[in-house]
Amino acid sequence: MLLASFLLPIVIRWMLERARILLDKAADIITDPDPHRMLGLLPDTLLAVAIPVAPLAIGMLITGIASTAAQGGLNFATKLLMPKFSKINPLSGLKRVVGPHALWEAVKTIVKSAVLGAVLYWSVKDLIPVLMGGGQIPNEVIIREVIDTVERLIRAAAAAGLVMAAADYAVASRRIGKQLRMSKQDIKDEYKKTEGDPHIKGQIRARQMAMSRNRMMADVPKADAIVVNPTHYAVALRYDPLKGAPRVVAKGTGTIAQKIRELGTENRVPVIQDVGLAQTLYKACDIGQEIPPELYTAVATVLAFVMSLKAKGSAAGTHRLPPNRRPPLPT
C-alpha cells in the first residue's frame, strides 16, 4: 500500500497523458472513418494501459517477494498444494479459535481497527469542511483535496500497518522459536544419535582397555627385567638386539603394578628396585615404545646387572642394584 501510494499518482499521470493522445487520434478517425485505422488504434490502447501500469505491477511484485524473503526466505512448498483432511477437522479449528494464539490474533485485530480508525479520522477531519462548502469552493480544489486526503490515508494506514507487522513478526518469531526449541531430553537423544550412547561408548572403551591390559600382561613373562618403585610403579623391559633398543612391554601403577610384579615373580623375571628409574620410565615411555636415548645408559646398567645375576643362577626374585652400580638418570 505504501509503495502504491507513491506509484499511483505517477501511473495516473502517464495514463492521462496517453489517453489524451489516444483521444486526439480517435477524433481524427471520427472525422475520417477508416476500419484499418480503427483497428490500428487497438494496440495503441493496450500499450497506453500496459506501459503505465507496468511499474506499479512490477514494483508490487518485487515488494511482495522481498518482504517474504526478509521474513523467512524463499521456499517453494509444493506439499502445501496437496489436500489435507486435517485442515477441515473441526477440532483443529476449535484449537485455533481458543488459545494463546487466538487471543493474540484477537488483540491484533482490535489494535488494527483502532489504529485504522484513528488514521481515518485524522485524514478525513480536514476534508469535511471542504465538502460542506461545495457551493463556494471550485470543483478542482475539492477533487485535489480529496485525492490528497486519500493519499495521506493510504500512506498513514500503510505506515501503521508496517509498525504492527513488525510487532506481529517479533511475537510470531518468538513463538515459533519456543516451539522449535529442543528440550533437555531431545538434546540427549540427538547427541546419542550423532555421537552414540555414552554408556555404550563407555562399555566399549572399558572392553578395549581390558583387552589392551590383557595383551600387556601376556607380555610380562617375556620381559628381561621389571623395574619397580618398589610398590607404586612397575615397568617391564624386554631387549632384543635384532629389534633395536630395549622396549617397554608393560607398565602400571597401583593394582596393575602389583599384578605385573606378581606375574614377574611367578615367571622368574628379575624384579629390580629403583625408585627414580621406575618413575622416569613410566612417564617417558608408552607400552611398546623404545626407551629414549637419554635412558640408554641407565637401562643398560640394569640389564648388565640382570645378566650377571643370570650367570650366577640367581636372577629370580627381587633385587637392588649395588650402590656402585646405581644407574645415572638424566636431569
List of domains in the chain? 1-66+95-182 (no CATH), 219-325 (3.40.1690.10)
The sign of the CA dihedral 305, 307, 309, 311 is negative
Label residue 223 exposed, middle or buried (CB < 10 Å: 0-12, 13-18, 19+): buried
Give CA separation, 93 vs 108, 268, 314, in Å: 19, 85, 94
- On whether the CB atoms of residues 44 and 20 are closer than 8 A, the answer is no
Report the pLDDT averaged over residues 133-158: 72
User: Is residue 317's pLDDT more than 80?
Assistant: yes
Share of the chain above pLDDT 70, in %: 76
**Residues paired with 236 in a beta bridge:** 226, 250
Label residue 30 exposed, middle or buried (CB < 10 Å: 0-12, 13-18, 19+): exposed
- pTM over 0.75, yes/no: no
**Residues paired with 158 in a beta bridge:** none
Label residue 92 exposed, middle or buried (CB < 10 Å: 0-12, 13-18, 19+): exposed
- On whether the CB atoms of residues 130 and 137 are closer than 8 A, the answer is yes
Residue-wise pLDDT for 3-15, tens only, equals 877 787 788 778 7
Residue 33's pLDDT band (cuts 50, 70, 90):
confident
Show the cell assigned to 68. Answer: 517474504
